[in-house]
């Protein structure tokens, strides 16, 4: 099986402002922010070419998820 990257994740300080930039500014398709019902779960996914997904995730939530102090 050939290894491949399917999701690229970027940590951001302001999820809402970043969503607006990538969706409205760059025109990337998205369903918006999902996972708000979880304390550290809010994330937005964007569809890129070739089945690649681009995700934005609050920096503090990524640190919590990775158990980084």
| Phi/psi-derived region of residue 25, left when phi > 0, alpha when psi is between -120 and 50, beta in every other case | alpha
Q: Quickly state the pLDDT bin for 21 (edges 50, 70, 90).
A: very high
So what's the pLDDT on residue 69?
67
| Residues in Cβ contact with 41 at an 8 Å cutoff, skipping those fewer than 6 apart | 35, 61
Token pair for residue 66? 């990775």
Residue with tokens 């990538």: 22
So what's the pLDDT on residue 68?
76
Q: What is the CATH number of domain 7-65?
A: 3.10.180.10
Cα-based angle 14, 12, 65 (whole degrees, multiple of 5): 110
Domain ranges of the chain: 7-65
């Amino acid at each position: 099986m050939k290894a491949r990257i399917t999701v690229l994740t970027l940590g951001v300080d302001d999820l809402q402002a970043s969503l607006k930039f990538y969706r409205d500014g760059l025109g990337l398709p998205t369903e918006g922010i999902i996972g708000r019902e979880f304390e550290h779960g809010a994330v937005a996914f964007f569809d890129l070419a070739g089945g690649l997904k681009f995700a934005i995730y609050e920096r503090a939530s990524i640190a919590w998820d990775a158990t980084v102090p």
